[in-house]
Every structure is written in C-alpha cells, then in structure tokens.
Structure 1
C-alpha cells in the first residue's frame, strides 16, 4: 500500500470518527420536546431519533464502538506510516503518537462536538438515517458488549432506565422554559402562562374581597331599603344575611330579582324564594383547585371560611380569572380609589389593600408569606394597633399612618424614596 493511500485512509478514518462524535453529542443535546413535536408532524428522522434514544445503551454502544475502532485504526495506521518513513525510531514513534492524538482531538472530537452542540437538531435527525441501519448490522456486537455494561450497573445497583422514567419537569423548570421562549411567545401569553403556574402557590385568601368590603343585603330590612339597595348595587351576585353578617342565608342573582319588579314591589319573601344556597370555601384552598371546584360545582361565587366556620371574605370566578389574564373589570364608582397619588410623589393606600395588588400594580416587594393586607402587615409589625401620625418602614418602604378606625388601619401614605412605583392616572 502506497504512502499516499495510507494518508487518504487516515483522513477518511478521522472523518468517520468525527461523524460518530457529531452523532453522540447531537443525540444527547437535542431538545426532546421539539423532537416529539416533529415526530407528531410526521418527520421520519424525528421518529427514528426517538427510537434510538429510547434505547440509550444500544445507541451509545454502536456510536462508541465505531468511534473507538476508528480511533484505534487511526493510531495503528500512523504507527505503520512512521515505521515506513523512519523505521523503528523511538522518537519518531513518540512524535507520531502525539500527532495522531492531536489530530483525533481536533478533527474527531472537539470540533465535531462543538458543531453538534450548536446544531443538535439538524445533525441528529440526519445521523439517525445512518445510525439506525448501522445499529441493526452491529447489533450482535453491541448486545454482547452491553452484557458486561449491565452486569457492572447491577453490581453498583444502578438502574438508568428507571431513573429516566422517574424524571419529571418541575413547575420552576416550566417557568424557565416559558421565560426563555420569549422570542416565540407573545409577552401577554407569556405573562398568562406564568400566572397560571402561580395558581398552585396562591390561595383564595390572597385574592378574596375582605368581609368588611363585601356588598351584601340584610333581608331583615324593610322592603324599600332592600329595593333601593338592589337598584343601586354594583354587582350581579350579592350575599344575603339576616341581621348579622355572620348569619348568611344565601346568594342572590340581582338580575332575576329585578325581572320580578314587573309584577310589583320587591319584598323579602320574594328574595327568599330565589335564594341560592351559599357555597363555602375553606381558607387556604389553592386557586387552581378552587378553579376546578367552581367548574365541577357550576358555581361562580363562594364565601371563604376559617377553621371555626367564620366567613372571612368572598371569592368569585372573575377574581381567579384576573389572576391569570389580568384585570378586566372596572372599580365600583362609589368605592374609594385603592391608590391615590399625591403631588409630592407619595401614594395614599387603603389599609385593606391586598399586598399582592400593591406588588403587582405598584411594583413593590412586600413580603407575601405572612399577612395578606397592608393593615395586617402594619399590625404585625407593631404587635398593636398604631395611632394616626405614626411613621414606620417595612421592607425598606417608609410609610405614615394617616387614619385608624374601629381597630384597623384605614389609610396609609407610602413614600417613594426607595421605590420605583408607578401609578396610572386612571387609578388615581
């Protein structure tokens, strides 16, 4: 065999070895979710790749078998070339070994693997057409080698196949995938997906309307008072109680009652006939679970109760939907604005405002692992009901108590010294 032929054979061996390195890295680096999508679309290369990856031991067996055979053949061929040119010169053999090691590293290992890591999908799908028949041809050898591999795994009590089946993607990993897919996912859709994941960590206590702010009807009032309240209310469903707010008798759909006005005045007896049984929700229920319960029970409104049966507030289907897609309802005109921007840049906030709303709308960073409202956070800070005019700082946000009433903090002024809060003029 001439020297030229052996040099060409060496180049060919290095190229083939590079192909196996390309295949190995691209197969391991390919996006499995993208691969499944392509397979569902009918891509034959994707289907072949999935079949190969389903038996990783066989895939790696045929790749490493070919790679090592080719590298060994390359080293042997270089030794023959050196012997032909320089005889049995030890220095020449050493330099030849160094040269072939350098060539394998550059042309058969590092460069192919860098390319495969950059373009795994394109290379893996193409390589699957070659590796599939090659695995069929070399299967007896691969099977024999894998016998020893499995024996070692059993000896060390390892089960890679079981570990692969048990691997599941976590919520945090899903969030990372959504965030990193920002170029392909619209910002609004991205925000909705992230909010949907948060439903597993948010409870009904975080979004409920506190009982003190719930619009309700006292069925023990006279008919004129009840009718006036129905005509001026700002919600379509209202809780109905008798004498005390604790004594809830049901939920009323205002539209059904107003339709009865054609037959005369609205009376308490008329309301009692169309009352719906109240739907109670245990405090601490996860929003995602409650969304499913609303769907299963065909309900749209529920009353949150604590462990003693005392109702704490009200949650509607719309409240949960707003946590996913953002606010889409308008504030009742008779209610005081939750946020009121002042000329000096400070913001006056109601004490009953939910901390989640402050963080979301004003870009604050109040802690959410304790009290749910600004009033609760301030009371927890002092371990007492503060007087008006008292100043404090929580989470580096300086604030001043403007008004306290009935053992609660009614209004608070938050100064923007350490904040980047932005308030819409439409909310002021």
Structure 2
C-alpha cells in the first residue's frame, strides 16, 4: 500500500475506527460500573459516607434508585454496542461485500465479549467498593442526563409485566433485614471468615424475635419449687441445696404460685437476731411473682427483663395456668450457648456413642442439638427432640420403634408413660429420603 493510498484510507476510515474504539471503551465502562455498583457493600458505603466521603454518598444515592441506575447503564451500554457494531458492519461490507456482515458479527462478538463485558466485569467484581467509588461521579452525571429516559423505559417494562401478573411497583424487599444478615453470616461461615461459635451467637440474636417464651422455658414438670406449708427448716434446706438462686414458692398446689424466694434474701433473714431455720416464715421474705404469657417473643421478654431489672418470671398460658418459668439466663443462653458456673448441675443430655450414633434425652431442645452438632432439624412445630418425633410420627411411639426423617434415623430407647425420655439418633440408611416423610419401621 502506497503512502497516498494509506493516507486516503486513514482519511476515509480512521474516524469510524476511532468511534468503534471509543464505543468499546464506553461499553466497558458501563458494564464495569453496573457490576461494581450492584455488588458494592452498602454497609461500607454508609460508613464511608458518615466519615465524610462524598463519593460514598453518591454511591448510596445511586443504589437507592437501583432500577433507575440499571436502566440508565443498560441504555448507555446497548447504545455503545449497537453503534460500534453498526459502524464495524459498514466497514466490513465495504471491504468484503455481503460476506462482511458475517465477519463483522464474528469480530465484534469476540471483541465486545472480551473487552466490553468479561474484562471490565471481572475487574469490577474483584474490588467492587473501590471501582464503585471511582466511577460514582461520572455515573451520577450520566444518570442525571439519561434518568428521564430510563424512567420511561422502566414504566413501560412495569406495564408490560403487569399484563402478565408481575408487579414491580412494590417497595417491599423480598428478604427482611434479618434474613439478609443471616444469609450473609452463613455465607461467611461457609467461606471460613466466621467461625461456628460466632455464627451461632449472631444467629441467636437474630432468632430472638422469632422464638417464644414457651420454646425455652423450664417446663412445669421440671420446675423446682418450695411448698410454703412445709416446715421452715425443710424450705431453708431446699433453697440452700438448690443450684438456683431464685425458686418459686407455692401453696396448696404448684399452680398457685404465691411468690419467689431469693437465696440472698433467705441468708439475710437467717442473719437477723433470734431467727433460726425452725422459726423462719418463708412467705414473708418472698418477692411478688411476675407472670408472663407463654406467647411472648424472646426479644420483648428480654427488653422486659432489662426494663424491670428482673431475672425471673412465671410463664402462664391463655387460661392463666402455670406452664413453667423463664429466666434472663435462659434468654442469654439462646445467644451465647450454655452458661455454667461452679454450682450448676452437670446434666448429660447428649452423648456420642462409639458406633457414631447420638443418644439424647427426649427433653433436649432441638435448637441446642442443632447448635451442638451443626444439624438442621426443624423446630417450628416442636421444641424438644421427643416432640419432633411425636409430631412427625403422628403417634406416641413404643420403645425400640424407629422412624426415619430429615436424613436421620430416630430410635426410641426409653418411654415413661406417654413421655419419650431417651432416643438414639444415627444417619439414615437412605440419605435420599425426602423430608418430612416418616417411615415407621416397627420394632427393632
């Protein structure tokens, strides 16, 4: 090619080539910006904005109108791609005739995929926060210019989808804030950034609003109380031998709770002159009992404990019948796990066997078992392991009867009257058994 011919070529085709290159750069900018702004951490942006970073404030405002942002970036991206492809097709037609369409399609597809899609998006996703801050001002200016067009496009899209029964006008998010936090914590745990103990504690905080007092209370059958009609020395001995600081006091029947005695109040009373265990009136040092409904969620009950500066409450049902008791420690244990001190009784409710099976007491809460063994047994319909087996089997099983559900095999080891007191749990023989299908297998 002579110098004169090359000069003519540049004069005729250089502007088109430059426009193609410019459009590819713009397309890459829009693609990377879309990826970075949708993947940027809103929490980090809010922190940076609070520290005075104006670019973070722009990112937050752009993300708040995500539909407008995405619409504007897609308009810019598609305009750049279409214009570059059209000019390239015109050039290829001039050089190769009708076959130039195929050559242009192949060449622009490769170029756009690599340089306008994969490369900028890979760059953006590797450091979305930094990328988003870098493009925030330019993108914000572009959205201000193209925003009205983007709004019109979004309006048309909503109307078309509305014809088919899809409504995008609702501002209600598909996931609640708690679900988003839980999902983020679980993801970080799987990636190794959050250890299991921290995941369980954070999950415990998020679960407080979903659990009721009845899910964690000490049931009335396990309550330890004091009969106000017993001899004073019997009541004193019961308080001093108990591992608990506070104990309910009843008279006539365990449903008639007349007060709560605190070990410190008992010791103060015994320290008074002329007071001996034989002549102490236990009912005179009791505190007024506090009754709470069994449907109170743990978040409200925790706030009530803190507000009243109390640690102990009696749980009653809708008919006013005593169902159990709940303490501040019970709620805290839902967050941090079991809290034990030197006076607590060690109750081995879960035991690992040599064959790999797990022997559990029927009264062990499902949540505690899930937390200890990292299982996912459901606890919506039942609180304890025994309750789960009864709920799924729809019967009160006999001893040595086995059931398979949720990928586990439950074998009833001991039953007292209508209560399942001990079970053996091992992995199901058929791991593909779909939950919650129950297979009663008779006696083993």
Q: Is the shorter-chain TM-score for this pair beyond 0.5, marking a shared fold? A: yes
Q: Verify: 1:199 aligned to 2:208, yes or no.
A: yes
Q: What residue number does 2:319 align with?
A: 308
Q: Within 5 Å, give how 1:276-315 maps onto structure 2.
A: 276-315=287-326
Aligned residues of 1:397 and 1:414 also touching (Cα < 8 A)? yes
Distance change >3 Å, CA 409–CA 165, structure 1 → 2: closer
Q: Verify: 1:74 aligned to 2:80, yes or no.
A: no
Q: What residue number does 2:136 align with?
A: 128
SS of the residue corresponding to residue 313 of structure 1 reads strand
Q: What residue number does 1:178 align with?
A: 185
Q: Within 5 Å, give how 1:51-70 maps onto structure 2.
A: 51-56=61-66, 59-60=69-70, 63-64=73-74, 66-70=76-80
Aligned residues of 1:216 and 1:241 also touching (Cα < 8 A)? yes
Shift of 1:328: 1.5
Distance 2:327 2:426 in 1: 33
Aligned residues of 2:36 and 2:124 also touching (Cα < 8 A)? yes
Q: Within 5 Å, give how 1:166-245 maps onto structure 2.
A: 166=173, 168-169=175-176, 171-182=178-189, 183-245=192-254
Query: 309, 330, 340: which is aligned to 1:319?
Result: 330
Gaps of at least 5 residues in structure 1 are: 420-428
1:359-413 CA deviation, whole Å, 9 max, x = no partner? 5446777664555456666777695696xxx422244222322x73xx4558536
SS of the residue corresponding to residue 252 of structure 1 reads strand
Distance 1:77 1:335 in 2: 80
Residue-pair matches, total: 407
Distance 2:351 2:67 in 1: 65
Query: 131, 149, 152: which is aligned to 2:153?
Result: 149
SS of the residue corresponding to residue 318 of structure 2 reads coil
Q: Verify: 1:42 aligned to 2:52, yes or no.
A: yes
Distance 1:2 1:177 in 2: 60
Compute the TM-score of the two structures, normalised by the length of structure 2: 0.75
Shift of 1:345: 7.9
Shift of 1:81: 4.1
1:315-334 CA deviation, whole Å, 9 max, x = no partner? 11101111110112248677
Query: 18, 21, 24: which is aligned to 2:34?
Result: 24
SS of the residue corresponding to residue 391 of structure 1 reads coil
Q: Verify: 1:400 aligned to 2:413, yes or no.
A: yes
Q: What residue number does 1:3 align with?
A: 9
Shift of 1:199: 2.5
Aligned residues of 1:3 and 1:81 also touching (Cα < 8 A)? no
SS of the residue corresponding to residue 326 of structure 2 reads strand
Distance change >3 Å, CA 362–CA 103, structure 1 → 2: closer
Shift of 1:167: 5.5
Q: What residue number does 2:436 align with?
A: none
1:25-48 CA deviation, whole Å, 9 max, x = no partner? 333333333333333333333222
Distance 2:304 2:178 in 1: 22
Aligned residues of 1:260 and 1:266 also touching (Cα < 8 A)? no
Compute the TM-score of the two structures, normalised by the length of structure 1: 0.77
Distance change >3 Å, CA 186–CA 74, structure 1 → 2: same
Distance change >3 Å, CA 22–CA 357, structure 1 → 2: closer
